[in-house]
Structure 1
Amino acid sequence: MEQSLYRSFVVRLIRNYIIGSVVAVLGVGGAILSGSLSLPRAELLNLQAILMIALMTMFAAEYFAFRRHIAPIRELFRSDRPSLAQIEAAYLRAHRLPSLAVARTLGPHLLGLSLPASALALLAIRLGWADLPYYYIGLASAGAMLVACMHALIEFFLTAQAIRPLLAHLGEAGRKVYGADLSLNGRVLVSIQRKFQLSAFLIGTFPVILFSLATQIRLNGWSEDLGYDYWRWAGLILVTGVGFSSLGAWLLGRDVQQPIRELYEAMSEVQAGRLQTSASDVYSDEFARLTAGFNGMVDGLRSRERMNAQLLQSYYATLAAALDARDAYTAGHSQRVAEYSAVIGRAAGLAADELDVLNKTALLHDIGKIGVRDSVLLKEGKLTDEEFEQIKQHPVLGENILLQVEPREAMAPLLPGVRSHHERYDGGGYPDGLSGERIPMTGRIIAVADAFDAMTSDRPYRKGMPFDKAFAILEAGKGTQWDPAYVAHFVTRMRGR
């Protein structure tokens, strides 16, 4: 793995953190100390020394937490040929680093900065090195945690930017070495709503609380009545500010989360193959462009699906026509069987997808006759027993032919009907001797349609019989040769035309 990338990544994380720490602790904390406290120079230097000691303690705690957090990434780059498991672990850890940066910031601020600084400040007051009220320690601790929250917010977004080159490199390594596409697969580690709510809340409350704390320190030495009046006023301002920030953060988070949720639901519909969906185009911000792009993509997919469906239907019809072309007297047989099958299917209440499978199966039901010799298939006279046995093999031959078509899952729904369209309802058919509802539904429907077309079509040796006579034969064979329900549906619908 490239060591230079790892070094630049670590340097960027450390630089971001040091800058944030210096600005937050020395900048904001120093401003409070120097601008809010009226202390002799010696006491102010003592407090600054305490702050520096606490800061060094915090940095030490940060260092150990940082090393533990990046350990999987460090071990990955130390390995000459890392395993896929190591790459995946480093990839997941890199995604978690922004959240870990928040924990790494808040924890040391509390344990490494606030607690040591508070203890040293209490000791300095007791030894006379600083003349401060004890409750100032509590105010300072509250201020330190407030600064820590703001620092954690900055660190989160800086780290989120810093990990992107690393994630891209790890993804490329997974593809090149192991052919694996690394992804969270839609897993949400930190929701956008939570990020927006917490960020907006901190941004809204930070100035108000910081100003209140600094002002209280600045008012030191004023009358107790003024201090009481100040906190009554400051309390109202704080409650109002926190409440407004909370409401604004919630509204902002909801405003961002809603279009994302709607887009995700629409994408789930598309992923499931339901392309009639669309995302609500009711937004006037950047989500309007995102929604328009998504809907345009879905429109393109629908158009592509319609074209593919037309091509596929033409493919089935062409195969059927090529089969029928072997015998001029059976031309159009497969298409007519498909049409008659559709009549039965609609009368039986089949769903759209079931009708589609039925149509395709009916078009290809005789595809196995491609494997039957012309001398047998086109013979005008009576077939011998041996020739009839060859004819009886065409359902099995048809199934075997379709089994060779890729992708196999596309042909799988057609196989039962192709194999079983010559089974009889009483069990006397072929090739498997199935009976009753053990015969697949498409096979039972096509058997009725196939027999009707055979009886009503002209042959060289006979004229096709009238429809009424064919209907009578079908009704006479209900429950023996054909499924009685499907015969009834067919005859009723055809006579009603």
Structure 2
Amino acid sequence: MMIYQRFLRDLIRNYIIGSGIAVVVVGGVIISTTLSISNTEMGRIFFIMTISLGVMMLAELLVFRRHMQPIRALLEQEAPDLAAIRDAYLQTHRFPALSVRRILGPHFLGLSIPAMTMASIGIAMGWLSLPAYYIGLAGIGAVLVASMHALLEFFTTAQAIRPVLIHIREVGQRLYGEDVSLDGRVIVSIQRKFQLSAFLIGTMPLFLFSLATQIRLISQSSDFTVDYWKWAGIILLLGVGFSSLGARMLARDIQQPIGDLYRAMKEVQSGDLQVRASDLYSDEFSRLVAGFNHMVKGLEARESMNNQLLQSYYSTLAAALDARDAYTAGHSTRVAQYSLLIGKAIALSEQDLDLLNKTALLHDIGKIGVRDNVLLKEGRLTDEEFEKIKLHPVLGESILKQIEPAEAMAPLLPGVRSHHERYDGKGYPDGLKGQEIPEFGRIIAVADAFDAMTSDRPYRKGMAVEKAMAILAEGKGTQWDPRYAQTFIDVFMSSHHVKTTSHVS
């Protein structure tokens, strides 16, 4: 509750200061120094202004209470729900823009409509000796004063909401572990903020001066007034044009580095840590760009270290598995190398090649769950023992599912489970056929078979490369995917300068 009272106090203080500067100082000074009327009529004008201010404050108070309601409801509760926290956070961010709406809405209309109405009645009843068109001039002046007040209110409110935003975020974090934010939502764009602010700052004095001078020149001859407005019109056009151009250039000068940083940030979010923001600025944005680039360099170095650690992790797991059997040592590493030969030949992306490498390294991880007397048996396996061996793809998938983070393991699961499926549908564990088999499973099946055929076993010596190639060629379209089998044959033969003894088609 204390944070709410402090917030309310700051808003009221800022409102009084803004009103004092815009309405009392500017409006009052113009009225008192430009109108040549009696003290009695001046008193009547200030009476009209007082009544109008009362109407304005009442109208604005009603709107202000409605705008404050979500924030007040949150700050007065000890344990608000998450939806209320998010609503209050958004409403607090909208408060500077809402303050402008209040100034240009109930504030401006609540003041100007009663004042102009009572002034018109006063002129008609003879209580005021002012020309009727003064009311129109007063309306123009009211627009200028309201715009100045809105500008002041926007920026003072933007400062006042900061403690409230911090408090709301702390509440969300404490109660729900939620880091409440706008998630990139833009309430008021920098372009609009800078253009309108610079335009008002540049043109406000010109319009106020022209308006006050016109009132002072009422008693002069019409020819003099016409000459004045010819000159004043040129000055106003030049002032408005220069202010508009300056506001546009200022907004663009601010937007450009922010846009460059935002685009670089999006690249980083998509995983590109090679990106760097262009250091083309000589103001404070140079520091921001340098800090951003330094941060990305740090992320790149950390990513490289993490990748090395992960690669070591996968390699260590594969080595630990292969170490169970001296005759299959290095099998997982070789299968990964052969799989990458195929992956590179068919132009897989760098990301897919990395996933293929990791999948191939861990393709036999399920054999950890197979007993030594079955896995390491030197002779021919019985049907029962072979059925146990056939469980290792499913066991491997189950093991990897238990490793966190789950999303890091998920891309590896299909290849691990399906590397013993056959292209003709006679493989295991699911009997998948053709393109139903995941791509990594079809690639690893070729690499795994080649290494198994060419590696020594206790009960046989590894066959010659030429013979293994011939078997792969004969099994295209039945046991192995014809495209990947032929690709491996072509790439391996080319890179190792192998000549087969039989025809490979």
What TM bracket, shorter-length normalisation?
over 0.9
CA contact (8 A) 1:427 1:433 kept: yes
Amino acid at match of 2:236: L
Indicate the residue corresponding to 1:126 in structure 2. 124
| 1:12-53 deviation per Cα after TM superposition (whole angstroms, max 9, x unaligned) | 211211221122222112211222223333333332333233
Q: Which residue among 175, 183, 197 is the counterpart of 1:177?
A: 175
- CA separation in 1, counterparts of 2:271 and 2:309? 18
Following the alignment from structure 1 to structure 2, what is the Cα–Cα distance between the partners of residues 224 and 425?
99
By how many angstroms is 1:259 displaced? 1.9
Structure 1 stretch 332-341 or stretch 116-125: which is displaced more?
A: 116-125
Letter in 1 for 2:211: L
Q: Distance in 2 between matches of 1:432 and 1:73?
A: 58
* Residue equivalent to 2:484: 486
The equivalences for 1:97-112 within 5 A come to 97-112=95-110
Alpha-carbon distance in structure 2 between the residues aligned to 1:232 and 1:248: 24
- Partner in structure 2 of residue 357 of structure 1: 355
Deviation digits for residues 60-79 of structure 1, max 9, x if unmatched?
Answer: 22222222221222333444
Give the C-alpha shift of residue 305 in structure 1.
1.3
Deviation at 1:87, TM superposition (A): 3.0
CA–CA distance in 2 between the matches of 1:493 and 1:324? Answer: 26
Q: 1:442 to 1:68 in 2, by over 3 A?
A: closer
Counterpart mapping for 1:72-221 below 5 A: 72-79=70-77, 81-221=79-219
Q: Is the 8 A contact 1:417 1:440 kept in 2?
A: yes
Alpha-carbon distance in structure 2 between the residues aligned to 1:75 and 1:324: 64
Of 66, 69, 73 in structure 2, the residue corresponding to residue 68 of structure 1 is: 66
| 1:239 Cα offset (Å) | 1.4
Q: Which of 279, 290, 293 is the matching residue for 1:292?
A: 290
| Cross-structure match for 1:50 | 48
Deviation at 1:190, TM superposition (A): 0.9
C-alpha distance in 1, partners of 2:430/2:17? 80
- Provide closer, same or farther for how the CA distance between residues 418 and 79 of structure 1 changes in structure 2, counting only shifts above 3 A: closer
The Cα shift of 1:302 comes to 1.5
Q: Where does residue 227 of structure 1 map in the other structure?
A: 225
Aligned twin of 1:422: 420
**Structure 1 vs Structure 2 CA RMSD:** 1.9
Q: Greater shift after overlay, 422-431 or 77-86?
A: 77-86
Instruction: Out of 288-297 and 375-384, give the one that drifted further.
Output: 375-384
Aligned to 2:10: 12
Q: 2:3–2:75: 8 Å Cα contact kept in structure 1?
A: no
Contact 2:414–2:441 (8 Å) recurs in 1: yes
Which is further off, 308-317 or 121-130?
121-130
Name the amino acid aligned to 1:25.
Answer: V
1:446 to 2:441 alignment: no
Cα distance change of structure 1 residues 256 and 383 upon mapping to structure 2, 3 Å threshold = same
Is 2:340 the partner of 1:342?
A: yes
Q: C-alpha deviations, 1:193-224, integer Å up to 9, x for none? A: 11111000000000000000111111121111
Relative to structure 1, the CA distance from residue 191 to residue 132 in structure 2 (aligned partners, 3 Å threshold; closer, same or farther) is same
Matching residue of 2:234: 236
Matched, 1:329 2:327: yes
Contact 2:79 2:175 in 1 (8 A): no
Identity %: 67
Structure-1 residue corresponding to 2:398: 400
Query: How do residues 457-476 of structure 1 correspond to structure 2 at under 5 angstroms?
Result: 457-476=455-474
Pair 1:364–1:86, CA change in 2 (3 A): closer
Q: Please tell me the residue identity of whatever aligns with 1:61.
A: A
Question: What secondary structure sits across from 2:278 in the alignment?
Answer: coil
Structure 2 match to 1:373: 371
Distance in 2, matches of 1:340 and 1:78, equals 66
TM-score, normalised relative to structure 2: 0.93
Amino acid at match of 1:453: D
Cα 1:428–1:124 shift into 2, 3 Å: closer
Amino acid corresponding to residue 306 of structure 1 in structure 2: S
Aligned counterparts of 2:54 and 2:409: Cα–Cα separation in 1: 70
- Going from structure 1 to structure 2, the CA distance change for 1:455 and 1:71 (only over 3 Å counts) comes to closer
State how far apart, in whole Å, the 2-side matches of 1:458 and 1:170 are. 67
Amino acid at match of 1:235: G
Q: Deviations over 1:253-287 (max 9, x none)?
A: 12212222222222222223233333222111111
The worse-fitting range, judged by mean Cα deviation, of 330-339 and 265-274 is 265-274
Conserved 8 A contact 1:109-1:144:
no
Q: Any stretches of 5+ residues in structure 1 without a counterpart?
A: none
Superposed displacement of residue 81, structure 1: 4.3
CA offsets, 1:396-417, max 9 Å, x none? 2222221221122211222222
- Contact between 1:17 and 1:155, CA under 8 Å: does it hold in 2? yes
The answer as to whether partners of 2:59 and 2:107 remain within 8 angstroms in 1 is no
TM-score normalized by the length of structure 1 = 0.94
Question: Helix, strand or coil for the counterpart of 1:496?
Answer: helix
Partners of 2:381 and 2:170 in 1: CA distance = 66
Gap regions ≥5 residues in structure 2: 496-505
Question: Match of 1:140, as an amino acid?
Answer: A
Q: Secondary structure at the match of 2:161?
A: helix
Please report how far the alpha carbon of residue 182 of structure 1 lies from its aligned counterpart in structure 2 after TM superposition. Answer: 2.1
| 1:422 aligned counterpart, secondary structure | coil
Match status 1:437 vs 2:435: yes
In structure 1, what is the equivalent of residue 502 of structure 2? none
- Mean Cα displacement is larger for which, 61-70 or 191-200? 61-70
